[in-house]
Amino acid sequence: MPAALRGRVLVQRLPSFSVVAELDKASGDRVRLALPEGRYLATVRLPNEARRCPFALAHGDAHELSLVGCQVIPLTVAVAKGDATGVPHANRAQLEPESYAGEEGFIFELGLGRSFYHRDDAFEQRLSDFGYRIEHPMFVLDGEVFIGRRLHENFALGLSYFDLDARSYERAVDEAQVFEFDSFGIGGWVQGDYGLGRRRVLNFFARGGIGLAHASTEFDALKPLGQTADQSPLENGVNGTYETIEQSFTGACFSIGGGVQAMPFRHAGFTLHAWYTYAPILENAFGQTHDVGGLTVLVGLRFRTWETP
Amino acid sequence: MTYRYTLFCALCIALIGCEPQDLISNASVDRWCGDHPCGWEVDGEVERVATWHSNDYAVVLVSDDARLHQLNQGASSASIECMAFEMLARVEHGAKAYLELDFLDDGEIDYSERLPEGDFIPVRFLVTMPTWFEGVRFSIRKDGPGEVTLARLAASPAYDCPDPPLPLLHRPSGATCEEDEQCEIGNCTSGVCDECGSDDDCDADQSCGEVIYYYGFLPLANVGRACVDIGSKRIAELCDRGAECASGV
């Protein structure tokens, strides 16, 4: 800032309009600010007007703020009801940006949605060959819990728990014989995003994740009977001869997705998120696998902390 | 309300009655009794083996002449004209295995179909039953080396068999027939196999006369020929010759 400049100076980072510096510049001395590379907007409030000066900084670059060519913003006196400060209302956001300054910190999301899982793969075909028919539930919602931390204006990291495929199959023999499985994933995410508006009111994001998927199965297996059991009409075909066999499978899963987050409130908002997960972890004794992943679309609530510099 | 309840119950009973009737018990051969699948008889050597799940079982026919068989004495032509078979087996390339049917359980194979090679590929086919039979033995027989594993053999009555009925010879007296050669004695009279063709086929104190064959509890009957004691029939009973009657007339 040149020595002659005098006024209140607000420097905001674009496109987020996050405030990086605010100072009252007195004339007489040059003031130097160290800023990372990027695009900025400097708003200088003079006694009768304000000037808005966009500029860009490259790595190692230096820029001297000049009011020449800057957009002039007239200051009109419009005192809000109950506002005794007398501060002109126009461009108040730029001049008194405390409520918009800063960046989001920790992120917490809760989502519910619908998933579209794989059908008719070799695993399921084999079950069908052996007489098992899928039992369609009336309606199932899948959920996700996400915890993250913003590390950069366009970059965040997170961990999430999310539901994966769950199904039940039934075969009618002497009595209904059931095979069912349930699965979920836990993974780390990298989020790249682009925020629009003050306080990142709209945030478009893409995520990629890697983690572990876990599936547990239950199978109603017929208990082996004694050598002469089938010679006794009472014992042969007797009900209640199943035992539940539990198995579990764990393996890597990979996800990719994206969506938009709307944050109308400082600490709360909404998220619309779709992602695809690849998790071929469920395996039968023939070595055929089932991908418990698929496409998930969900809406949810989003909460965040807001951290000011 | 009572009328609706009665109608609902009648509908339920009708639906239950329409369920396919399993003619083979333990069709999935996954219930085991010791060293053999429950309900099945075993010739030769067989072993229990896991299939898609380590606790879902099938039976592998180990020895070259292994045979797995099961008799259904209640199956008969009175209720079954057509039979649907559903089979799931692993038959190694070059291995020979057969589904065989022995009607009347007399040791004579009346139907034999080679199992297609494949790795647990479901197969369904229809077999038209003989016009008369009582009881059938279902068999899966291996003939020679190679892996043959049976995971399911189910049979149920069906109604859409396109083929003509299987021939079944050596039918006993009283069995329905269409041709003489179907009958053990060689005589088919009025659609029923006779017990005798002449007095020579009977004991000395018997005569080859007319008798009525009833079909169980059904109000159906057929007239055939059988050995009857000489002079054993009373007035108004069916007869062919005077020797059968007590009155001699």
ipTM, two decimals, is 0.74
In chain B, the residue whose alpha carbon lies closest to the alpha carbon of A241 is: B31
Mutate to test the interface with A, among B53, B71, B73 (most CBs of A within 10 A): B53
pLDDT above 90 covers a percentage of chain B that reads 51
Residue B94, CA atoms < 13 Å, CB-side half-sphere: 4
**Pick from A173, A228, A285: CB nearest B28:** A173
Gap from B7 CA to chain A (nearest CA, Å): 27
Residues in chain A predicted with pLDDT less than 70, given as ranges, are 75-101, 174, 227-240, 309
**Pick from A127, A227, A236: CB nearest B34:** A227
CA dihedral (B151, B153, B156, B159) in degrees, to 10, reads: 110
DSSP B48: E
pLDDT, tens digit, for every residue of B236-248?
A: 777 777 777 877 7
Mutate to test the interface with A, among B21, B25, B30, B31 (most CBs of A within 10 A): B31
CA dihedral (A148, A151, A157, A158) in degrees, to 10, reads: -10
Average the pLDDT over each of A57-61, B220-224, B226-230 and give the range with the smallest value: B220-224
Q: Report d(CA B197, CA B42) in Å as an integer.
A: 41
Q: How confident is the model at residue B221 (pLDDT cuts 50, 70, 90)?
A: low
Q: Does pTM surpass 0.80?
A: no
DSSP run (H or E) holding B123:
strand B123-128
pLDDT, tens digit, for every residue of B157-210?
A: 998 899 999 999 989 888 889 998 998 887 888 788 888 878 888 888 888 888
Are the C-beta atoms of B245 and B208 separated by less than 8 Å?
A: no
